[in-house]
Structure 1
Amino acid sequence: MKNSFILTAALAVAGVSAADPEPTYTTSRPPFSTIKPSLSSIEAAQATVKPLSPTSNVKGVAFDRIIQIWLENTNFDISTADPSMQWIASQGILLTNYFAVTHPSQPNYAAAVAGDYLGMDNDDFIRFPTNISTVVDLLDTKGISWSEYQEHMPYPGFQGFNFSNQQNFANDYVRKHNPLILFDSVALNDTRARQIKSFTSFYDDLKAQTLPQWSFITPNMTNDAHDTNITFAGAWAKSFLEPLLKDDYFMNNTLVIVSFDENEDYPTANRVFTVLLGGAVDPALHGTTDSMYYNHYSTISTVSQNWDLPSLGRWDCEANVLALVANKTGFRNTNISLDGLYFNASYPGVLSDKKFTPGWWPAPNTLAKCTTGRGVLPAIADAWGKSEGSYNYTNVYPYDEVSGAAVGGTPVVGSGEANGSGSGSGSGGSSTTSSAPSATSMAAAVPVRPEMMGALGLAGLVAALL
């Protein structure tokens, strides 16, 4: 880790120029040291580690609270056929072109908070170094409160690989479904770590009216469909949501996003069932659909637009913004042709098993203005220096391994086509379509080359710094 951090910093400070082939990779990534605390140490921590429940009241453009709830590994058409999921869709807006960004589960969770999965293609024990920022760094710039709620997590900030059901030893809590704990910038900060807590804390916060303004909720391995099926998970999700949707405090200008980490069939396009609901969604839009292209990075760009926050300088930078917000800010989403796009494989990187790049971490784009025009978080620019990014982070859709493309489409205000009793794009939205981008307009999503490398090349630079 030490050497990879040094190389990252060196690449960032140098600045970047034209596109270059991807770095040399191997198929033998050394594992991280897995944290597996003993049951006795877990029980001791349960008695002493207390959760934190910070609160705030920072007004947003379209919502004052956002809650993401993720289920697992289900194809879009299977989800839409389930009666419980149909009920959930009837309570809000179904996004018919919302995509995960890769496979398997863990990199999607990481992407949803970091704007990138940084080459990860596995569910192994992974730790992102402290110079990899997340959405909470953006939220903290305005004192916007945040937490995670992880079902059956044994105590706040638990960093272990998993925690089994102590009655039947079935899978229960798993680290790979806990996005923020993967990042040392959160996990190694005691205050931040204690904001990652269990469902018990969720109900305590609900009762005390101390829910944060941003939160991420992960059910256990039974309730999320991972070890069961969509019928079981759908019934759980309906039973979880139904009383909350009747709670005035919970509903007050709250946006709830129910989604899935990834689809089940890896060779197919990675489209997942996603619904927007809660008090921030106009009842006139219940039971409608929105066909604009969105992905997991859209949740970060939407948060940035809603609270006028900077960007992480990664795939969140120009990700389409949910129409709920875009229609109020005037942000122009990009309607794209999805023909030939799959988002079902990861690019090479230091966290990849299949394409391991020793010491090479992709740098963010620290020069872009991004969706809000506020640019990249200053702390990120300070840490990485002037950089146009290792990938084309200003494209509306991310790296796609199958097509090798990451650009295309026509900007439109708000959303695309909407169907149903209301308009999925809300007031002021437009409905347009675009033809498939031409071969010449589809820029290959390859890394860009630091000027400092010159004739030395990446391999030589790695050798020089190790």
Structure 2
Amino acid sequence: MQSALLLLASAGAVSAQLATTSEPSLSQIQQAAATVVPSSPTSNVGGAVFKNFYQVWLENIDYDAAAGDENQKYLASKGITLTNYWAVAHPSEPNYVSAVGGDQFAMDNDDFIQIPANISHVADLLDTKGISWGEYQENTPYPGFQGFNYSNQKTYANDYVRKHNPLIIFDSVASNATRSTRIKNFTSLWDDVANNKLPQWAFITPNMTNDAHDTNITFASVWERGFIEKLENSTDFWNESLILLTFDETEHYPIGNRIFSILLGGAVPKELVGTTDDTFYTHYSTLSTVEANWGLPSLGRWDCGANIFQLVADKVGYTNYKVDTSNLYLNSSFIGPLSTNDYSNYSSVWAAPATGNETCAAGHGILQAVKDTWGKLTPTYNYTSPFPYDTVSGKDIKVSFSRNGTTWISGVNDTKIATTTSGTSPSSTSSTAAATSSGAASVNGVSGGLALALSSFISFAAIL
């Protein structure tokens, strides 16, 4: 296997804290549940296509199994079926984190992880325009609960798990009571629906029974249909909203990580109800879509170049990338600080986001906090880490991308990256040229892996 040249940022102050997974006592949980008050801030910020964005995640189902379920078919008939939507990793936790943080951070586990406070996420983006946000986590015992899990107290079955609660994993949320109390259970969801107190952005996670993790697609789809039909009666939830129904990942790891996904809600034009969208999307597309809709900055990570949902792309005038997924898998992690299952992929160094003048997918630049945190770091070269390879084909990865008709191919050898071009090099003012692909997959017909034009250099990380 070849070695790789990885362009990373030296960031001594940026580190992850792997905390104990021990639980508070039941009496401590009950005491907190009796005293912690949920927070339900609201706002009314208009967007290009939708006023609200809600996503509901189920668990671990292959595309064909979900697409064949009768209740999933019914839900699809009420919206747009996304036939080319992909998870970005295995197991669960890196997918959830990616959807709010724009990166897996090389996470290859479902451990109790605390991402440091100077790593930005979607809530930081929404806060720039005062857009209200929150999470609804079924059976979490009280707002902002930070335990590893909380079981059903009668049957002791799995209910709430931290790994499915993406924002609580970020210390800037967990350590801030004003923020953490926006993460509530479904009792608060129905209270907020009844009182017109829903946030404009929300991440909704059923418990481990209802989300199919401990059951199956039939059980979860019956639950989801009933859940959505009940919420459809709420104009506050449904009208002017774009609602994503998706899964965290496939059940089987060796296959491509494509997952059945649906867009619903009042923001879906009537002429698109019952149609399909074959555009290539990933969990990062939820971020880029939100950024484009509300004119928000980017996190400067994989959200920066991710395709945005076509109905929004059409409205804001953005052209999505075409990606050949013939050999795409997206089923493994890359080198970084949160690798614990595969120590050959461990590095204490955090990959730097873009911090320059990139316009990113939505054309609104990089979040200022990201620039302030990362912009002064000095890029360093690391020759020591083994280059990830495709676990299915056994081949080393090559990375490539295409921008404005110009193809860039980076071949990897033992000590350096040799770059061939058919035009001028990416500049710090160009649109980000990222398209998430992998292995022998291709971008705009170009064979290669995954690349992202960041600042005036190319920073890449392979995702298999």
TM-score, structure 1 as length reference: 0.80
Return the match for 1:58 from 45, 62, 72: 45
Structure 1 match to 2:348: 359
1:340 to partner: Cα distance: 1.5
| Cα-to-partner distance string for 1:127-147 (whole Å, 9 max, x where unaligned) | 101111100000000000000
1:442 equivalent to 2:448? Answer yes
Answer with 247-256 or 114-123: which moved more. 247-256
Gaps of 5+ in 2: 1-8, 382-387, 406-440, 458-464
Amino acid at match of 1:9: A
Answer with 92-101 or 360-369: which moved more. 360-369
Return the match for 2:73 from 81, 86, 89: 86
1:129 equivalent to 2:116? Answer yes
Structure 1 match to 2:204: 217
Return the match for 1:160 from 125, 137, 147: 147
Question: Are the structure 2 counterparts of residues 445 and 248 from structure 1 closer, same or farther at C-alpha, using a change threshold of 3 Å?
Answer: closer
Question: Are the structure 2 counterparts of residues 222 and 246 from structure 1 closer, same or farther at C-alpha, using a change threshold of 3 Å?
Answer: same
Residue correspondences, number: 400
1:389 to partner: Cα distance: 8.3
Tell me if the contact between 1:138 and 1:377 (Cα under 8 Å) persists in the aligned partners: yes
Tell me if the contact between 1:11 and 1:363 (Cα under 8 Å) persists in the aligned partners: no
Tell me if the contact between 2:143 and 2:184 (Cα under 8 Å) persists in the aligned partners: yes
Structure 2 match to 1:374: 364
Structure 2 match to 1:425: none
TM-score, structure 2 as length reference: 0.81
Amino acid at match of 2:110: D
| Cα-to-partner distance string for 1:157-198 (whole Å, 9 max, x where unaligned) | 000000000001000000000000000011101100000000
Tell me if the contact between 1:11 and 1:450 (Cα under 8 Å) persists in the aligned partners: no
Amino acid at match of 2:369: A
1:284 to partner: Cα distance: 2.1
SS in 2 for 1:275: strand
Structure 1 stretches (4+) deviating beyond 4 angstroms? 386-391, 399-403, 409-412, 435-441, 443-451
1:29-428 aligned within 5 A: 32-353=19-340, 354-355=342-343, 356-367=345-356, 368-386=358-376, 404-405=397-398, 407-408=400-401
Amino acid at match of 2:11: A
Amino acid at match of 1:360: V
Structure 2 match to 1:9: 11
Tell me if the contact between 1:366 and 1:388 (Cα under 8 Å) persists in the aligned partners: no
1:115 to partner: Cα distance: 0.3
Tell me if the contact between 1:65 and 1:254 (Cα under 8 Å) persists in the aligned partners: yes
1:246 to partner: Cα distance: 3.1
Amino acid at match of 1:442: G
| Cα-to-partner distance string for 1:32-83 (whole Å, 9 max, x where unaligned) | 3225111110000001001000000000000000000000000000001101
Structure 1 match to 2:426: none
Between the aligned partners of 2:62 and 2:196, the Cα distance in structure 1 is 35
Amino acid at match of 1:34: T
Tell me if the contact between 1:69 and 1:218 (Cα under 8 Å) persists in the aligned partners: yes
Query: What is the aligned-residue RMSD (CA, Å)?
Result: 2.8
Question: Are the structure 2 counterparts of residues 450 and 125 from structure 1 closer, same or farther at C-alpha, using a change threshold of 3 Å?
Answer: farther
Question: Are the structure 2 counterparts of residues 363 and 401 from structure 1 closer, same or farther at C-alpha, using a change threshold of 3 Å?
Answer: farther
Question: Are the structure 2 counterparts of residues 401 and 111 from structure 1 closer, same or farther at C-alpha, using a change threshold of 3 Å?
Answer: farther
Between the aligned partners of 1:220 and 1:141, the Cα distance in structure 2 is 31
Between the aligned partners of 2:21 and 2:456, the Cα distance in structure 1 is 33
Tell me if the contact between 1:160 and 1:175 (Cα under 8 Å) persists in the aligned partners: yes
SS in 1 for 2:304: coil
Q: Share of identical aligned residues, percent?
A: 53
Question: Are the structure 2 counterparts of residues 72 and 405 from structure 1 closer, same or farther at C-alpha, using a change threshold of 3 Å?
Answer: farther
1:439 to partner: Cα distance: 9.6
Between the aligned partners of 2:448 and 2:279, the Cα distance in structure 1 is 19
Amino acid at match of 1:385: G
1:202 to partner: Cα distance: 0.5
Between the aligned partners of 2:158 and 2:58, the Cα distance in structure 1 is 15
**The structure with more strand, counted as a fraction of residues:** 2
1:251 to partner: Cα distance: 1.6
